[in-house]
Structures are given as C-alpha cells and as structure tokens.
Amino acid sequence: MGTDVLYAKTEGGMKLAVIDVTNPAFAVSATDAELAALAEQYIRESGQHREIPAALREALQSSMLGRGLMAAAGTFLDGMSTYLLKLGAENLGESASPIDRRIAASFPAFTTRLRLQDVARLLADGLAGSVAAESRRPVCLVNIGGGPGSDSWNSLIHLQAERPALLAGRKIEVAVLDVDASGPAFGGRAIEALRAPASPLRGLNIGFRHFEYEWSDSARLRELLCELETSDAACGISSEGGLFEYGSDNEIITNLRALHSGTARDAVVVGTVTRDGEPVRASLIANRVSTRPRTSETFQSLCEQGGWIVEEMIERPFSYNVRLVKD
C-alpha cells in the first residue's frame, strides 16, 4: 500500500492533505487498554488546568487550530477546524505553528482521527450488501453536518479498495447538508483529487453537492431526500461529529423519522454520539464545546422513536460510533 498523499485547496487557497484512512500516512490505531490509559491521563491533566493563561490564550488565537477551538466555546467546532484535527500533526503542512502541532497530537485529536476511521468503516460495511444486490442501482451518500464529508469519501475508498468492481459504472452522489459552505467546497475539490488518474477513486462517476441545512428543519430534509431520489438508491447517511452530538432529543427523532420515510428499506445511518462519561466531562470543561452527552440506552431509545435500531456500536472514550438500520 502506497503512502503518497493527495492535496486539495480550501476556499482561502490553502493546500491541505486529502485524508485517506487506508493510507499509512493517516491511519491510527490503539488497543482498548491503551485508550483507557490515555483517557485516564487526559482526565488527570484536564483537572490541573481549569483556566487558560493569558499567554496561552494569545498563542491559541494566533494558530489555525487554536482559533477554531476558541471560537467553538459554547457552540460547535466548524467543519474545516475538525478536518484539520483529523490530519494529524505530521500532515498539517508548513504553515502550521508549533501549537497547532501540539493540538493535532493531543488525545482528543487522536480520538477524532479514530472516530473518522470507525465511521468510514461502519458506512462501507453497511452499504456493501445493498450496493452488491443490484448492479445498476445508484449510490447516494447523505452527510448531515458533515463539513468536507471526509467520512463519505473514505467509505468509498474502502469499497473501491476491497471490491473494485462494486462501484464501477454506477452513478454515485455525495450530498453534504451543512450550514457552512467552506467545508463542502473543500470536500468537492478533495473528491476531484481522489478521482484523478492513479488515485484511489479514479474512474468512478462521483457527483458532489452541497445543500444548506439546519437539522432543526426536518421538513427541509424530506424535500432534499426527494430531490436526491434516495428512495431508489443504495443510501448511506452519516453524521460524524454532527446531529447525534449536538442535536436535541427532538431534532434527532424528527431527522431519523424523515430519513426513515425518505429512503429505501436497506438504507443505513452511521454517526457518532457524545458519550456520557469522565473523559467527555473533562473535555467539556477544557474546551466548552456544547455537545450533548448521552448514555447508550438513552440514544437507543431515541433511535427507536425515530424508526431505527442500533445494529453496531463501537465504544470510544469520547463517543459511541454507531450504525443504524430500519426497525
């Protein structure tokens, strides 16, 4: 397996690496015991630093990742800042400052990279059967609050690498539903880079579309699913670091109901749920990002009210990474 890294430009003209979780340059791994030890260390260290010193605050404001994290206090981390976290310290590029690299090498950033890998794998595995069942059926990946949509394109990389005939000749569409346009703009360029000769998705017919969407408006979601013709497609919906982390109980239920009625029987939903526990509580104190921690039982109850059941759940220190199928 090669380690060549592809690049695409942001709206501001910055050249960033295109994440391919099958490439050793981006892949991360850890045993459950290693993750538990790192989580304990993180909890201890977070308890020692309740306030950010003025000098550190100034340094954070002057760094790419620091500015994003500071702006996320009381709200959410934007799509491009989250994408930078997933690159890892070694892939940030020459413009990154030492503090950017420290943030990118932190335990929360490591688990964000692991989260992307989990979601891409869950989505690829969930789609494989429905895609294989009909050779000419279109494929639609709907990404809710997905920023650049890196989990969507990485699920395609998995499928193409493992079953190269599966996607050939099909119409494939990636639809990112997000309030911000900068992440999807980069995502479209990233997919073009991945479709170039000698690249992982070369030769595939992949379209990329961005729709402005707030998950408080599930009626809008129903309209978009109709426009995308998801009821006829092999459909994989994902929301990594999105709906299930920041949405209210009612928003999760109404979005799941819209997805249930607007997709085929074999559609899958993959996402990440903020896990209620000590690492998350330490993170909320340190970063003040307004995710909504839930127990696995609470989340499963929301899914059932929305017409879905949890088929697979991966437990990580900060999240439950899940795949849902229709009840």
Domain boundary among 55, 75, 110: 110
Residue 270 sits in the same domain as residue 205: yes
Give me the domain span that covers residue 284: 112-326
Residue 124 sits in the same domain as residue 273: yes
Domain boundary among 89, 110, 131: 110
Give the CA dihedral 87, 139, 160, 211, nearest 10 degrees: -20
Average pLDDT taken over every residue of the chain? 91
With 70 as the cut, is the pLDDT of residue 242 above it?
Answer: yes
Residue 125 sits in the same domain as residue 145: yes
Q: Return the ∠ at Cα 95 (arms to 89 and 97), rounded to 5°.
A: 60
Residue 67 sits in the same domain as residue 193: no
| Percent over 70 (pLDDT), the chain | 89
Residue 138 sits in the same domain as residue 248: yes
Examine residue 1 and state whether it is found in any structural domain, yes or no: no
The two most distant CA atoms of the chain are separated, in Å, by: 59
Residue 135 sits in the same domain as residue 265: yes
**pTM of the full structure:** 0.92
Instruction: Give residue 72's pLDDT.
Output: 58
Q: Which amino acid is at 115?
A: R
Examine residue 2 and state whether it is found in any structural domain, yes or no: no
Instruction: Give residue 153's pLDDT.
Output: 98
Residue 97 sits in the same domain as residue 121: no
CATH classification at residue 206? 3.40.50.150
The pLDDT tens digits of the residues spanning 87-143 come to 999 999 888 888 889 888 999 999 999 999 999 999 999 999 999 999 899 999 999
User: For residues 308 and 317, is the Cβ–Cβ distance under 8 A?
Assistant: no
How many Cα atoms sit within 13 Å of 273 on the Cβ side?
A: 28
Label residue 282 by pLDDT band (50, 70, 90).
confident
With 90 as the cut, is the pLDDT of residue 223 above it?
Answer: yes
Examine residue 85 and state whether it is found in any structural domain, yes or no: yes
